[in-house]
A and B are shown apart, each in its own frame.
Chain A
Amino acid sequence: MLTSPRVIRFTQYAIIYAVLGLGSFLILFPLAWAATSALKPNTEVFAVPMNWIPENPLWENFILPFREKAFGTYFLNSIIAALASVALTVVISCLAGFSLAKYRYFGRNIAFLAILSTMMLPVQVILVPLYLVVRDLGWLDSYQGLILPQAVNAFSIFLMRQHMKSIPDDYIEAARLDGASELAILIRVVMPMSRASISAVVIFAFLASWDSYVWPLVVVTKDALRTLPLGLSMFFSEYASEYNQALAAASL
């Protein structure tokens, strides 16, 4: 049988596009469905055949969550927690990354391995004792208790260390000769050269904090300290049959 290379090439690309297209459809379908259903009256959410464009968009669905629950407060708490985590992560991971990449001292490799090993630790493993630590510090139901224990991830230290290792020593030596202190070298020379990694670390820390659910669930009981994920899941369990409003709250 004669099949020209062009035909083979064409079928290959056709298959690739078909698979990627199907995959994208499967990824986007739930999100699109949620977005349109949030604007429908409750009776139409599960209507068959489904309407992609709601006939009379009900924007009030978005108001109820704010009236029934303190979503404004939850939002603010989530923002505070995320920003604090980001700040703490940047400070700790830059310092530690610089130290682990560019200094030699006794126990450095052990310190690095120990920090790395915490990456392998599922939160649930230390959930009980971590709760007790926070309780003994008197931090239950407080911003410190909510934010600090889960703020810094060893992965960010690993990332900073790997990046800073790739910065040539010459820059650091040159700054040292000019009389810069070690901290100034980090802040003025090394950190500006690690902008890409720092922004990656910032994004990771922000997302991790924004998404975190188990720890706030365990440590917070006051409504005024709840974060968005907690507020959402509570709203969902109370209004489970108000599908449109649950989806509206989720879409926010």
Chain B
Amino acid sequence: MAAVESSVHRRTWMEYIPWLTYGRRLGFTGFFFVLPALIYFTLFAFYPMANAVRLSFFNYNLLSPPRWIGFGNYEFLFGSRQFMESLGTTIIYAFGISVPIWILSMILALMLNQNIRLRTFFRTVFFAPIVMPLVVLAIIWSLLYHPYGPINTVLLAPFINQTIPWLNSNQHALLAVIILAVWRATGYYGVIYLAGLQNIPNEYYEAARLDGANNWQLFRFITFPLLRPTTLFVVVVSIINALRHFDAIWIMTGGGPGDATRILSVLIYETGWIFLRMGRAAAMSVILFLLALAFTVVQMWFFRTQE
């Protein structure tokens, strides 16, 4: 590499340092390029993450200095019924959103991958909700869910003869926010699946058809296995995304009625910024992080053993 240096080359400051060979100099330059990103994430991700762990051992209300209380926050949380219920709600919410999304978005992609007319139209329609601000959708949907709103009076009226108080009832509120989330995200993951489908070479299908495989066998033995990397991505990302949902629930129900939709992210916000218990909120954050990590590791492991 050093041999290619041209004679008209102007020397930069690094070339005056004798132990820096050409390759090392390039390496240094590369390191300088990644430095802004590292500084950025150190300041706004790694350091806060470490600090969350530290804070979770303190009692801190922003006003007086933090006071060390050991595992006090964790002890409180695991004894608190509200927290344990919130943990359960979070898990139901995360799976309630992602499982339907896995199935629906794959079906959607399989259908859009057929040779059909209006494909661009359908793709645009299904992708539309993800580009609309969630706050806007939350407002629209909380009116849709109004007891006299169009979901009851127009969509469901022909089928059930009953007014469902969606957001005001313990039994329906969680379902209502899950429906909104599935409605919004299915098209997005559908497009990701579609990209995965289009990477599968057509020859595989032709060869299998020659061998007399039917449609189900094509899906079972070609499409599904070859989509595994896409599926892993969709599964992991959809669950992690569900864990960070906040906006729609905060606007539509504020965590209620009762504790019906109080998922962890809502509880963290309330504990930290309404009750000013930063240490306790940090402890919840750490548990949320472990939950996210556990989901990810389990899924990675699950998909690895199938190989």
| A residues with CB within 8 A of B | 13, 16-17, 19-20, 23-24, 26-31, 33-34, 37, 45-46, 48-50, 91-93, 95-96, 98-100, 102-106, 108, 111, 114-115, 118, 120-133, 148-150, 152, 154, 157, 176-177, 179, 181-182, 186, 207, 210-211, 213-214, 217-218, 228-229, 232-233, 236-237, 243, 246-247, 249-251
Contacts and interface: CB of A to CB of B under 8 A. Distances in A.
Nearest to B143: A243
A243 B149 CA distance: 10
For the complex of A and B, 9 pairs with smallest distance between CB atoms: A103-B30, A105-B27, A99-B33, A96-B37, A129-B48, A129-B51, A122-B244, A126-B48, A99-B34
Contacts of B139: 232-233, 236, 246-247, 249-250
Interface string B146-170: 1011100111000000000000000
Interface residues of B, number: 88
B30 A104 contact: yes
Contact of A128 (B28, B135, B285): B285
B246 A124 contact: yes
A179 B47 contact: no
B2 interface: no
Contact of A127 (B26, B243, B269): B269
18 contacts: A31-B128, A48-B154, A115-B37, A118-B45, A120-B293, A126-B49, A128-B285, A133-B51, A182-B33, A211-B135, A213-B250, A228-B135, A229-B133, A232-B139, A233-B138, A233-B250, A246-B143, A247-B140
A122 B34 contact: no
Chain B interface, >50% SS class: helix
B155 to A, nearest CB: 7
A125 B33 contact: no
Nearest to A96: B37
Interface of B: 4, 6, 8-9, 12, 23, 26-34, 36-38, 40-41, 43-49, 51-52, 55, 107-108, 111-112, 114, 116, 122, 125-126, 128-129, 131-144, 146, 148-150, 153-155, 183, 187, 236, 240, 243-244, 246-247, 250-251, 264-265, 268-269, 272-273, 278, 281-282, 285-286, 288-289, 292-293, 296
A125 B293 contact: no
Nearest to A186: B33
A107 B126 CA distance: 42
A236 B30 CA distance: 49
